Structure 1
Amino acid sequence: MTSVIFMGTPEFSVPVLEGLIENNYEIKAVVTQPDKKVGRKQKITKSPAKVAAEKHNLPIYQPAKLSGSDEMQELIDMHADLIVTAAYGQFLPTKFLNSVKIAAVNVHGSLLPKYRGGAPIQYSLINGDAETGITIMEMVKKMDAGDIYAQEAIKIQPDDNAGTLFAKLAIVGRDLLLKTLPSIIDGTVKKTPQDPDKVVFSPNITKEQERITTSMTATEANNMIRALNPDPGAYMMVEGKRFKVWKAEVADETTDLKPGSVVANKGRFAISFADGNVLNLLEVQPSGKKRMNIKNFLNGQGSKFTPGEEIVDK
């Protein structure tokens, strides 16, 4: 039985871990990020990978920093055949990568060399890409720079957001990994080096990027909304307060109103953006309120706004 040290943290990693278990790989350890405080009440929350590992009674390691830790030495001493990572969230030291007998393999949520880094799925949406995909790659010390074992692309649908793409790609990643691992194990796999001239990076989303500004077109704003749903959510500043937008659509019309103005508030709530574009807001969350559909918003706070009124701070 081929032994694996599995490393992952979010929901994306769970189908990959479950797939390895169901296909009789021996999971020697599951390494995931430490429990963290979540929400207003700062409730201590386990990672989805930890929850899955507990369900299967697997050994769990949660070093705050893997490099130089006692946990890393324990993992090295396991002498596993493979390391498999899927959105773990930390760099892996070369000493650890070299400790396995066969290979260290990463399930990455993009078509490398495009979107190396921690937010490939979000950037595929931000940039309005037509497709994204999964890369099964050999891990090296440099971030997402290893040779490619296999890739599979999927189309990005107009109604996709980060949540739906994560879910789709997790299944694609699981299936492609399980299809590719036998040839990695027996040494028949063909590796393809990444083209350094085509490298694009996707660093983690910053707090500043979460804000929708009136300098954006409606399409750019909508892409940001999709990319940040379900976490952390994109927002605009309306009358000095955060106003999150969870779902929207680009309207098939233009306007002469200044960007940030109310275009319509009867039956729909539409805001003007750069170049005369218009965005219909469909699901919103005013400051201090719960998420709501636009009908409920218009029946409450939204009723005070009038067409032509400039309400979005620049």
Structure 2
Amino acid sequence: MAKPNSSNRQISLVFFGAGPVASESLEFLIQTFQVEAVITKPRSKGNTAPVIDLANMHNLPIFTPLNRLELSEIIKNNRFSSQIGLVIDFGIIISSDVIDSFSLGIINSHFSLLPEWRGADPITFSLLSGQARTGVSLMRIVEALDEGPLIAQGELNILPTHTNQSLTKDLIDLSNTLLAHYLPMYVSGEISPGPQDLIAKSTSREVSYSRKLSKNDGLLDWNKDAETLEREIRAYQGWPQSRCKLGRVDLIITEASVVDKKLKPGEYQVDNKQLIIGCKSKSLQIKRLKPIGKNEMDISSFLAGYLDKL
């Protein structure tokens, strides 16, 4: 993680964020910059609200709009002194009147190398694609989805072992480093945002879009290639999780590896304390899994307790 610079404390910003990535990012921002206010989603019944809890811990003003109209009213009725806003993992569309209320605009830390994977879930789709690298883009937002000019980008190798959760953690660290270095340069006028299309031409990156996932995305389809399903298992950790039914057992698969064994799609074989499931090409050897309603376990523990149900 980047170390806070004392000179950065002179920069005041309004933070927009609501999800788990937002809360981890906010902790660093509070240590590094002056956070004038936190704008987040309301605490929903029965759910945690880590951004609200963190802001309360630091005695920061909190505003909780339900939608873009309420957000506009909050901005209209409060005269924030900050020249700049910062949005990470917010989930509410920000209209032009809100953007224009900050003289330096609103900066988004987006977890992909734009223009790749615009949209709601760039981390998951970076993993699903099988690409070798991803990164973080600091972008001045416009009303069009993730099409604003870029202030800076940082790259990161996607490892064969990266899951959604571990890649998210690494990207948060990269985001913090970029914000600590480039946000002061942007505020001081040392650097200016550049159009995404110029970046795309110089890097041969093409425009692509991610989307919100549904629970059905997690249903494992054994008619897909083993390599594709292995990436899904890593990408869908946390949500929507990779689910299947073997025999009489409903399962969430949490770790698997590709093996060069020929079985029919969906056919499974237990051999020498190994569970192997056939795919369209090659097969998956299941390493770790979680029977629905039970704790995650390794394959040896699972076979010891569930073999008679397969």
User: 1:259-301, CA deviations, whole angstroms, 9 ceiling, x for partnerless residues?
Assistant: 11113343221111112x1111122122333322211110011
Structure 1 residue 79 displacement after superposition: 4.0
Which amino acid is the alignment partner of residue 254 of structure 1?
Answer: K
1:45 alignment partner, one of 45, 48, 61: 48
1:189 to 188, 191, 206: 191
Alignment partner for residue 291 of structure 1, among 296, 300, 304? 296
Per the alignment, residue 154 of structure 1 pairs with 156
Q: Which has the higher strand share?
A: 1
Asked if residue 73 in structure 1 is aligned to residue 61 in structure 2, the reply is: no
RMSD between aligned residues: 1.9
One-letter amino acid of the counterpart of residue 269, structure 2: V
Match of 1:19 among 11, 21, 28: 28
Alpha-carbon distance in structure 2 between the residues aligned to 1:295 and 1:271: 16
Secondary structure of the 1:158 match is coil
Checking the alignment, whether the CA contact within 8 Å between 1:218 and 1:279 is kept in structure 2 is: yes
1:230 paired with 2:238, answer yes
Alpha-carbon separation, structure 2, partners of 1:166 and 1:10? 12
User: Aligned letter for 1:271?
Assistant: I
Alignment of 1:6-155 (within 5 A): 6-23=15-32, 25-36=33-44, 43-46=46-49, 48-69=50-71, 70-75=73-78, 77-155=79-157
Structure holding more helix per residue: 2
Q: Contact 1:6–1:27 at 8 Å: present in 2 too?
A: yes
Figure out how many residues of one structure are paired with residues of the other and give that number. Answer: 294
Amino acid at match of 2:26: L
Q: What letter is aligned with 2:299? A: I
- Look up the equivalent residue of 1:152 and give its one-letter code: G
Secondary structure, aligned partner of 1:232 = coil
TM-score by length of 2: 0.88
Q: Which runs of 5+ in 1 are unaligned?
A: 38-42, 306-314
* SS across alignment from 1:259: coil
Q: Which runs of 4+ in 1 moved over 4 A?
A: none
Unaligned runs of 5+ in 2: 1-9
Partners of 1:294 and 1:21 lie apart in 2 by 43
Deviations 1:130-154 (A, max 9, x none): 1110000111111111001100111
Distance 2:125 2:99 in 1: 28
Aligned to 1:272: 278
